[in-house]
Structure 1
Amino acid sequence: MDHQPAPHYLGTRLRHLLDLLETDVARVYADLGLPDFRPRYTPVIRLVHTTGPRTIRDLADTIGVTHSAISQTVNQMRRDGLVELHPGHDARHRIVHLTDRARALIPTLDAEWTATTAAAHDLDNDLPHPLSTLVDAALRALAAKPLRDRIHEHL
């Protein structure tokens, strides 16, 4: 008997889905000889590589994550020898630059990115509604009306 979790455990199921996706991408990096490489590094490296050094704020805005999240990622990347931080036009701004080590990974990361994009399209085709479309729609809906507001309407 196939047991389906209750639909009201949405947050738990979304975290599980994200964990499945991230774990498999991390395994691909390990398969490519990069066992300690974190999937969240790739958007930073690709963006800085294609557009040049960027501030942490600009990276956060462009990638679509919080300043805190990208700051933590960049600090871990610095510890891993993938980026250097240079001062910006004032003390509050830090500019992210790639190291030679990160630049050496670009061909591998580009191949992985292309393959992962194709695999995501395959996944979308296997679903009744494309996951990428649903995620984008959910983000837009929550930007227009946060879940907190929706919850308060039902309290």
Structure 2
Amino acid sequence: MTSDYLGTRLRHLLDRLDGDVARTYTDLGLPGFRPRYTPVLRLVAADGPRSIRDLATTIGVTHSAISQTVNQMRREGLVHLEPGTDARHRIVHLTDQARAVLPTLETEWHATTAAARELDAELPHKLSDLVDAALHALDTRPMHDRIRAHLHHP
């Protein structure tokens, strides 16, 4: 397989995975619920209110990405924010609306985890292992550095 259009194919893969999870939320009576909300809700439900920075670190995404997600969740009534010990920190709390959907999300989470294991079993290499390995390799040497090494400067 060629690496041509790798970014496009990865976005297509993610769109298909997220799209089907979102369809499942609709099937379960949660239309418009976004897959990226689930890790935030599950972490805050399990561990109590958490800072945006802590959520970003634990989930493994950027502070900006979690901040955007939390702001969308706030607009949809799933979380509210309170100031932390430092004015720069905002602490994420679940709303009653979020708590009401947690049982449905737990059911979906277990089904999605089982489906992901099934997908992994059908592939020549586990997708989850490949993603972890790719992220580790990019932590070691970012794609920017790899690209620059192949650029030919006049």
TM-score bracket for this pair, using the shorter chain length? over 0.9
How far apart are 1:7 and its partner, in Å? 3.1
Asked if 1:66 corresponds to 2:62, the answer is: yes
Deviant stretches of 4+, over 4 Å:
none
Asked if 1:42 corresponds to 2:56, the answer is: no
Asked if 1:91 corresponds to 2:80, the answer is: no
Task: Calculate the aligned-residue CA RMSD, in Å.
Answer: 1.0
Aligned-partner Cα distance in 1 for 2:72–2:143 = 31
Corresponding residue number in structure 1 for 2:6: 10
Aligned-partner Cα distance in 2 for 1:120–1:141 = 23
Asked if 1:105 corresponds to 2:101, the answer is: yes
Asked if 1:130 corresponds to 2:120, the answer is: no
3-state SS of 2:93 partner: strand
3-state SS of 1:84 partner: strand
Asked if 1:27 corresponds to 2:23, the answer is: yes
How far apart are 1:36 and its partner, in Å? 1.2
3-state SS of 1:115 partner: helix
Aligned-partner Cα distance in 1 for 2:86–2:145 = 38
Write the letter of the residue equivalent to 1:54.
R
Aligned residues with identical type, % of pairs: 74
Query: Alpha-carbon deviations, 1:31-69, whole Å to 9, x = none?
Result: 000011111000000000000000000000000010000
Task: Tell me the number of residue pairs that the alignment of Structure 1 and Structure 2 aligns.
Answer: 151
Aligned-partner Cα distance in 2 for 1:46–1:114 = 12
